[in-house]
Amino acid sequence: MAEAGTASIAQDGARIVARGDWTLDHIDTLADLARTLKRRAGAGARVEAAGVARLDTAGASMLLDLVDGEEARVEALPAGARGLLAAVARAQAGPAATPAKPDRGFVAAVAQIGASLETFWHNTTALVGFIGLILASIARIALVPTRWRVTSTFFHIEQTGFNALPIVALLCFLVGAVVAFLGATVLKEFGASVFTVELVGYSFLREFGVLLTAIMVAGRSGSAFTAQIGSMKAREEVDAIRTLGLQPVDVLVIPRVIALLVAMPILTLVGMLAGIIGGGAVCALALDISPTMFITRLHETTTVTHFWVGMSKAPIFAFLIAAIGCLEGFKVSGSAESVGTHTTSSVVQAIFVVILVDALAAIFFMEINL
């Protein structure tokens, strides 16, 4: 069995002579010995380690403990062991930093608000610049039919439009039924249940039809755009497109934008009809308003202006959702986590922008009496 490491204090009291194996096998003995010698040795004592036969990281830590971590006070150590001692000394000199406690209080709250505003400003300027790039690209290829990507455009029309018809119709039907039921419950107290027809007609033609459709498209198609382009960015397919001499905006963005511009008005029309049908069903079942009476009153009291107010917002929402979805896809850094993060960001930003623009449009149409 290897000889356990030993140490003793020289006659001058200024040196500690170390011998034997300073290894993990003898760590308990070495720890007790180091504590005893530190108490007995004078301040600044040096260690003479010429007699050390074997040394590992545990033994090096014990030697450094004898000299309070000062590597230079360990003398005559063999060259190979000297490198190990130096590595252990560096490790002990740079302990892992403890995580800083999060700031709290008023200053931290103000700093968080400032950071959020800065992020909002950066996202806004990036979106405006990307919209400009899309418009410039459309203008550049509009008069060059050979650069139109018809197949890709029709594929995305099918994906974003026709495949989304069932969920949009079902959602708007159910919301229309809920709006009619709540309206009838309130208006019944005033003996004005018949005005539920106008409530359903106005709300879905002007607001709910296009707004609910836009929210569904943002969550379904906008996120899909981000995930698709983000995955291509992660696999370096976007760089490959540039290598082929093509513009990623022309290949990836414009077909999706055009597809959503075509699909969104169709989905909005279906949403309006489904919401009105849902309201009519509640009126027929709960208010004794027959379908014929519902349609007649809707025709007499609801003008076509309300329909065009709602439809005019559909292309704007479609363009914004497509632009945000594609822009977030191009922001992906290359990892799967980044794809998920930017997909979530795409949905949140698109819904926020849609609701903001809808509120501004409502104020605008109210001011011009439409």
pLDDT digits (tens, 9 = 90+) for 286-322: 887 888 888 998 888 888 899 999 999 999 999 999 9
3-state secondary structure of 23: coil
15 forms beta bridges with 46
Q: Do the Cβ atoms of 127 and 323 come closer than 8 Å?
A: yes
Which pLDDT band holds residue 1 (cuts at 50, 70, 90)?
very low
pLDDT digits (tens, 9 = 90+) for 73-107: 777 777 777 777 788 887 877 655 555 666 677 88
pLDDT digits (tens, 9 = 90+) for 124-151: 999 999 999 999 999 998 888 888 889 9
Residue spans of alpha helices (H) in 142-253: 150-160, 165-188, 196-202, 209-217, 223-234, 237-243, 248
> Residue ranges of the domains in the chain?
6-93, 121-367
**What pLDDT is attached to residue 265?**
95
Mean pLDDT for all residues in the chain: 85
Q: Do the Cβ atoms of 40 and 66 come closer than 8 Å?
A: no
